[in-house]
């Protein structure tokens, strides 16, 4: 049994204890269940708003799945590679569509997100209980990227913050309570465009596990309560255009996590911005 699984044995038993028999559709308990589900979604939306409001930085782990590295012809890193997205890029369900700026080729990248619950500095990657306890809850996120903006910046040795930082370039859903994900290294992520599945892989394929990610980041900068960590995207990234409908979700043990489901339309962004080569 791994250290992560030992640390999580307790939450598995808690989740199992909450399983109840399924009521009929017309029974009072079924009506109550539907009402409770609706209220839970409202609470979830409120919590997402709080997550967005309190987020001070979004740290993103790049090149953390081998097949994704291959599909973009990138080099495999020897240690976790990370960059920042601004909190202003966060897009919540119900806030509107994903906005594609003029001249920007937008790619989707599905990721498991962590919401940090307390200060972390110089954490030990092997101290499972410490880094696991620091995760307050999980979210699902789409790290949208202006691929042509990023490619041009890379070729010229320039920063590519613009490629990651447009408004609406970080749709999120959730939050997902920790007992719903007994092991964050065994989560199926999926994303579809117009009903066609484009990304579908398990977080067990991460090159650098979450403990190592948090250790390396916290050696460089302090992680604070409310910070968001995006843990990397699997293979299958690709373009999206105005008119597309993007859906995504999480499965654990083959079952969908309802509060993680998301659905966003893509529309062209109005305004003066249009991408031009630097």
All residue ranges of the chain with pLDDT < 50 are: 6, 9-42
Only one residue has tokens 């040795």, namely 157
Give domain status of residue 219, yes or no.
yes
Give domain status of residue 122, yes or no.
yes
155, 31 contact by CB (below 8 A): no
Give domain status of residue 12, yes or no.
no
* Cα gap 229→237, rounded to integer Å: 19
Give domain status of residue 42, yes or no.
yes
* Cα gap 160→74, rounded to integer Å: 15
The domain of 57 spans 30-268
End-to-end CA distance of the chain: 52
Q: How far is CA 157 from CA 10, 64, 103, 148, 272, in A?
A: 48, 22, 21, 14, 26
Give domain status of residue 2, yes or no.
no
Sheet containing 106-108: order of strands: 145-146, 106-108, 238-240
The pLDDT score that the predictor gives to residue 73 is 82
Give domain status of residue 110, yes or no.
yes
Query: What are the CB-based long-range contacts (under 8 Å, 24+) for 268-274?
Result: 268/99, 268/100, 268/102, 268/242, 269/99, 269/100, 269/101, 269/102, 269/166, 273/101, 273/102, 274/101, 274/102, 274/103
Strands 135-142 and 110-116, by their bridges, are antiparallel
pTM exceeds 0.75: yes
* Cα gap 122→153, rounded to integer Å: 31
DSSP 201-270: EEGGG-SS-HHHHHHHHHHHS-B-TT-EEE----S--EEE-TT-EEEEEEEETTEE-GGG-EEEEEEEPP
The pLDDT score that the predictor gives to residue 134 is 96
The pLDDT score that the predictor gives to residue 31 is 36
For the chain, give the mean pLDDT. Answer: 87
The pLDDT score that the predictor gives to residue 1 is 53
Strands 170-176 and 90-91, by their bridges, are parallel
Alpha-carbon dihedral angle through residues 200, 205, 208, 211, given to the nearest 10 degrees: 90
* Cα gap 37→54, rounded to integer Å: 25
Give domain status of residue 57, yes or no.
yes
- Number of separate domains in the chain: 1
* Cα gap 243→257, rounded to integer Å: 26
* Cα gap 84→230, rounded to integer Å: 10
User: Cα 36–41–45 angle (5° rounding)?
Assistant: 145
CATH number for the domain including 61?
3.90.850.10
For residue 154, give the DSSP letter. Answer: H
Give domain status of residue 142, yes or no.
yes
The pLDDT score that the predictor gives to residue 38 is 41
């Amino acid at each position: 049994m791994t250290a992560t699984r030992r640390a999580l044995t307790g939450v598995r038993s808690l989740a199992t204890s909450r399983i109840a028999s399924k009521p009929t559709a017309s029974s009072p308990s079924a009506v109550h269940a539907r009402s409770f589900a609706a209220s839970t979604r409202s609470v979830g939306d409120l919590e997402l708003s709080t997550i967005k409001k309190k987020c001070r930085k979004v740290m993103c782990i790049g090149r953390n799945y081998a097949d994704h590295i291959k599909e973009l012809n990138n080099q495999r890193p020897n240690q976790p590679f990370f960059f920042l997205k601004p909190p202003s890029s966060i897009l919540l369900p119900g806030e509107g569509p994903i906005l594609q700026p003029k001249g920007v080729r937008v790619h989707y990248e599905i990721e498991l997100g962590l919401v940090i619950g307390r200060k972390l500095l110089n954490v030990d990657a092997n101290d499972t209980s410490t880094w696991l306890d620091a995760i307050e809850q999980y979210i699902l996120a789409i790290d949208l990227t202006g691929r042509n903006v990023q490619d041009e910046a890379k070729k010229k040795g320039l920063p590519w913050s613009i490629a990651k930082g447009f408004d609406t370039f970080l749709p999120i859903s959730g939050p997902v309570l920790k007992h719903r994900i007994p092991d964050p290294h065994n989560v199926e992520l999926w994303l579809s465009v117009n009903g066609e599945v484009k990304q579908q892989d398990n977080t067990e394929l991460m090159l650098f596990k979450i403990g190592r990610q948090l250790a390396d980041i916290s050696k460089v900068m302090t992680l604070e309560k409310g910070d968001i960590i995006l843990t990397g995207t699997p293979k299958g990234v690709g373009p999206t255009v105005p008119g597309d409908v993007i859906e995504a979700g999480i499965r654990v043990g083959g079952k969908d996590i309802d509060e993680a489901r998301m659905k966003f339309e893509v529309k062209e962004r109005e305004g003066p911005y249009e991408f031009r080569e630097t």
